Amino acid sequence: MTVGKILESKGSEIIALEDSSTVLEVAKLLGERRIGAIPIMHGNKLCGIISERDVVRGLAIRGGAVLADGVSSLMTKSVITCSIDDSIEQLMVMMTERRIRHVPVIKDGAVVGMISIGDVVKERMQETEQEAEALKAYISSA
């Protein structure tokens, strides 16, 4: 199974903000859309990613004043991305090793979707259930 197949089943809607956004705008969008991270764009170019954890850390350090700051003050600028051709296994290893939960998907230099650890776990569970059913059918037919 590939990242592209996950996007086909879950959809590839991209919820992003411009790099001119504030931390308050990020917090509002995270809450409204019930998502854990948002890619930050400069036009069509990915320039960062910000997560709920980034916002919480900013609040812990600076208090409510951080909400007026530009998103660049908290976002991760070295974004770890994946390709639509990457396997779920590759993605699981990368997410585990890098300790990240959200990965933008890139195709031909453009962001075409976002994959979360929840998407990966859901897909792996479905694959495991299908394998178990296939084994049961094989054993009962023998």
pLDDT at 9: 87
The answer to whether residue 88 scores a pLDDT higher than 80 is: yes
pTM of this structure: 0.85
Q: What is the pLDDT of residues 17-53, one digit of tens each?
A: 999 999 999 999 999 999 999 999 999 999 999 999 9
C-beta of residue 17 within 8 angstroms of C-beta of residue 26? yes
Collect contacts of 136-142 with beta carbons under 8 A, ≥24 apart.
none
Give the tokens for residue 37.
Answer: 């991270």
Q: What is the pLDDT of residues 54-71, one digit of tens each?
A: 999 999 999 999 999 999
Collect contacts of 23-28 with beta carbons under 8 A, ≥24 apart.
23/55, 23/58, 23/66, 23/67, 23/68, 23/69, 23/70, 23/71, 23/73, 23/74, 24/67, 24/68, 25/71, 26/50, 26/55, 26/71, 26/74, 27/55, 27/67
Q: What is the pLDDT of residues 95-142, one digit of tens each?
A: 999 999 999 999 999 999 999 999 998 888 888 888 888 888 888 876
